[in-house]
Amino acid sequence: MPVIGQKLVIKNLISFGSNFTKKVNKTMGSVATIVDKRVKENLSGGLTPSDLSGLDHPYAKRHGERGKQVLTPWYKVNKQTGRLLNSKEKGIIPAQVRVGKLMATAFVKLDTDVAPHAVHVVYGTSRMIPRPVLQGSRDEVLPAVGLLMKKNLINAVLST
């Protein structure tokens, strides 16, 4: 998400040093937590394998590009063994200035070493629709994240 007033932010970063980057990093940690919470919710659907079978496998491609929408949001994933949920990781890439731009990243990812099937769930297979749970979860919380970043960064610029 681009930061409006980026030149002022970079000027303050240079002027005030580590206090500003600490505030940016703390804000990005909060962003990661918000997205992580929503991803967890969207990876915790309540249907069992027998439920899915009784519903004629609602994630089969034969039901269209979004399958049978048995859960809301449509890309929500059912928790079966818990490996996919246990593969979830969150973190940040600390703030830094590169090529005259302030860069900071918050992320939530699925570790395919823990849950190799994550790729098939997110991108689909020849028989199963893709369920972009990471992207969808991010998009759900984007307005709240934007307000949090704006509030915290404005406060950082004014108080640093």
Q: Please check whether residue 20 is in contact with residue 35, taking contact to mean a CB–CB distance below 8 angstroms.
A: no
Residue ranges per structural domain of the chain: 6-159
Q: Both tokens of residue 67? A: 């399958």
Per the listing, tokens 């990781």 go with 89
The mean pLDDT value for 25-44 works out to 95
Q: Residue 13 has what pLDDT?
A: 59
**1 pLDDT tier (thresholds 50, 70, 90):** low
Q: Residue 9 has what pLDDT?
A: 64
Q: List pLDDT tens digits, range 123-155.
A: 999 999 999 999 999 999 999 999 998 888 776
Task: Map the chain to HEC letters.
Answer: CCCCCHHHHHHHHHHHCHHHHHHHHHHHHHHHHHHHHHHHHHCCECCCHHHHHHCCCCCEHHHCCCCCCCCCCCCCCECCCCHHHHCEEEEEEEEEEECCEEEEEEEEEECCCCCCCHHHHHHCCCCECCCCHHHHHHHHHHHHHHHHHHHHHHHHHHHC
In the predicted model, is pLDDT for residue 160 greater than 50? no
Per the listing, tokens 């930061």 go with 3
Q: Residue 153 has what pLDDT?
A: 79
Q: Please check whether residue 124 is in contact with residue 64, taking contact to mean a CB–CB distance below 8 angstroms.
A: no
Q: List pLDDT tens digits, range 40-78.
A: 999 998 888 888 889 999 999 999 999 988 888 999 998
- Rounded to two decimals, what is the model's pTM? 0.81
**159 pLDDT tier (thresholds 50, 70, 90):** low
